[in-house]
Amino acid sequence: MGPKLNALLISLGVRRFDQIADWTRAEIDEVDAHLGSFKGRIDRDSWVEQAGLLARGDIAAFEARFGELGSEKT
């Protein structure tokens, strides 16, 4: 997640993985409506699943499913 998307989520009050992990379909749709050019990323990039793993501290499962943390910078 880049700085623009991060700033947008913060402006919507989203600051922690556990918040995203607990989103209902209605909350996903509500947030998605604010994402502009990022619309659709919540489902497409499996944010709820990713956030759930990270909120639980299950880094091994996250990396097995989504790749190494920080790998997008290399």
> What pLDDT is recorded for position 13?
95
As given in the structure block, the two tokens for residue 36 are: 């502009």
Token pair of 67, please?
């790749």
Size of the chain in residues = 74
Q: Tell me, what's the pLDDT at 72?
A: 63
| Cα angle value 11/40/56 (rounded, 5°) | 65
Considering the entire predicted model, what is its pTM?
0.86
Rounded alpha-carbon distances, angstroms, from residue 14 to 8, 11, 21, 66, 72: 9, 7, 11, 21, 22
- Cα–Cα distance between 72 and 74 in angstroms, integer? 6
Per-residue pLDDT of the chain (74 residues; tens, 9 = 90+): 789 999 999 999 999 999 999 999 999 999 999 999 999 999 999 999 999 999 999 999 999 999 998 766 54
Map tokens 């499996």 to a residue: 46
